[in-house]
């Protein structure tokens, strides 16, 4: 195995040692929440009750957010620590190899292992207990089909105002958003010496405020009068409505592409920032 491969294996072992137990707790939330809900509903005399797919999906979403926030800091936060970080910096591998390995662990291995365990457990529970209804995996597949169908219908009714939205099912569309979350918190884990997730969230809030202050006037420039006009005229066709706001309608038409391009650019920027932080870190 080449050096990068060996390094990646070392990083995975390190991730298991530092985050294995927390990961297992989060990945098995589907099982624990199922047992807890059933247990407490039995205690209060309501009989065995299992959550439907909607609350189960919300719980999975919340768990995923917690995973995104905590995993990078727990697995790689030690790098800013003088004692442990020195040991990491001294390993004879290039900064690029170290960066790539960190990104693969955080953006690919951790989330995919999480989905694999979480959804498998959910699927098994739904097979055993039919009162659970559809599993999260089946629901997501159905949801994607419904979403694509809905947009196809809008397209037909509004003379192709909205282009083909079948790309909503594209894996990349979801992966780049997922990766972005992990990359942001990985960069935060490498930049801050303490309270890493809290400081990263603080920076994100400040950045969001600054960006909205810049972008809102650009998007709404001269549009208020048109908004009032559109609100007053309820007989407008979707096409007429779209033509009134060229920038907004252009953005909607190319939303999927724009999202992919912007996320890819931001993710690349984050990856480059992580690389330079790894290369220039001092102890």
Partner 1 sequence: MITIKELGFSYGDHVVLKDISMELQEGRIYGLLGENGVGKTTLLTLLAGLKQVEDGTLEIDGQKPYNREPSFLSNIYYLPDEVPAPRRKAIDFAIDHGQYWSNFNAQKFSEIMTVFDTDQNQRMDHMSYGQLKKTFISFALACNTKYLFMDEPTNGLDIPSKAQFRKAVSKYTSDDSTLLISTHQARDLEAIIDPIIILDHKDVLLNASLDEIAEKLYFDYSSDVDPNALYQEMVPGGNIQVVRNTTGAESKVNIEALFNAVLLHKNEIKEMFNK
Contact pick of 36, 52, 65, 94 for partner 1 (by CB under 8 A)? 94
Contact pick of 32, 87, 145, 251 for partner 1 (by CB under 8 A)? 87
Choice between 7 and 118, CB closer to partner 1: 7
Separation CA 186–CA 54 (nearest Å) = 30
Contact pick of 2, 43, 47, 82 for partner 1 (by CB under 8 A)? 82
Query: Residues near 185 by Cβ (< 8 Å), separated by ≥ 6?
Result: 68, 69, 71, 72, 73, 106, 196, 197, 200
Report in angstroms how near the CB of residue 262 gets to partner 1 at its nearest. Answer: 33
Three-state DSSP string of 10-31? HHHHHHHHHHHHHHHHHHCHHH
Separation CA 103–CA 274 (nearest Å) = 9
In 11-38, which positions are buried (b, 16+ CB within 10 angstroms) versus exposed (e)?
bbebbeebbeeebeebbbbbeebbeebb
Choice between 98 and 196, CB closer to partner 1: 98
For residue 93, state whether it binds partner 1 (rule: CB under 8 A). yes
Kindly state the tokens that stand for 170: 């594209």
Query: Residues near 147 by Cβ (< 8 Å), separated by ≥ 6?
Result: 165, 168
For residue 228, state whether it binds partner 1 (rule: CB under 8 A). no
Report in angstroms how near the CB of residue 106 gets to partner 1 at its nearest. Answer: 19
Separation CA 58–CA 15 (nearest Å) = 26
For residue 10, state whether it binds partner 1 (rule: CB under 8 A). yes
For residue 193, state whether it binds partner 1 (rule: CB under 8 A). no
For residue 130, state whether it binds partner 1 (rule: CB under 8 A). no
Choice between 84 and 149, CB closer to partner 1: 84
Q: Site mask, partner 1, residues 13-42, x = CB under 8 A? A: x---xx------------------------
Separation CA 44–CA 40 (nearest Å) = 6
For residue 283, state whether it binds partner 1 (rule: CB under 8 A). yes
Number of residues that bind partner 1 (CB under 8 A): 24
Residue 93 region, left (φ>0) first, then alpha (ψ -120 to 50), else beta? beta
Contact pick of 22, 57, 95, 120 for partner 1 (by CB under 8 A)? 95
Report in angstroms how near the CB of residue 86 gets to partner 1 at its nearest. Answer: 6
Where along the sequence are the contacts to partner 1 (CB under 8 A)?
A: 3, 6-7, 10, 13, 17-18, 78, 81-84, 86-87, 89-95, 279, 282-283
């Amino acid at each position: 195995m080449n050096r990068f491969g060996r390094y990646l294996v070392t990083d995975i072992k390190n991730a298991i040692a530092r985050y294995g137990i927390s990961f297992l707790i989060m990945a098995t939330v589907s099982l624990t929440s199922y047992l807890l809900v059933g247990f407490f509903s039995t205690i209060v005399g309501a009989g065995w009750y299992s959550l439907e797919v909607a609350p189960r999906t919300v719980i999975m979403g919340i768990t995923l957010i917690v995973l995104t926030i905590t995993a990078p800091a727990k697995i790689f936060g030690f790098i800013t620590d003088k004692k442990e970080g020195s040991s990491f910096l001294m390993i004879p591998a290039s900064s690029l190899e170290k960066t790539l390995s960190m990104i693969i662990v955080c953006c690919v291995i951790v989330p995919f292992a999480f989905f694999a365990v979480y959804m498998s457990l959910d699927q098994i529970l739904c097979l055993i207990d039919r009162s659970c209804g559809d599993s999260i995996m089946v629901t997501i597949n159905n949801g994607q089909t419904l979403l694509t169908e809905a947009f196809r219908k809008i397209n037909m009714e509004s003379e192709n105002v909205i282009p083909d939205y079948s790309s909503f099912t594209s894996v990349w569309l979801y992966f780049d958003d997922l990766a972005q979350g992990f990359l942001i918190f990985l960069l935060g884990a490498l930049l801050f010496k303490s309270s890493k997730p809290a400081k990263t969230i603080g920076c994100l809030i400040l950045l969001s405020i600054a960006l909205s202050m810049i972008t809102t006037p650009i998007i709404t420039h001269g549009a208020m009068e048109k908004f009032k006009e559109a609100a007053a005229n309820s007989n407008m066709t979707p096409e007429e409505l779209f033509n009134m706001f060229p920038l907004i309608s252009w953005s909607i038409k190319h939303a999927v592409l724009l999202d992919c391009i912007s996320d890819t650019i931001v993710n690349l920027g984050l990856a480059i920032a992580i690389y330079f932080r790894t290369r220039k870190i001092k102890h």
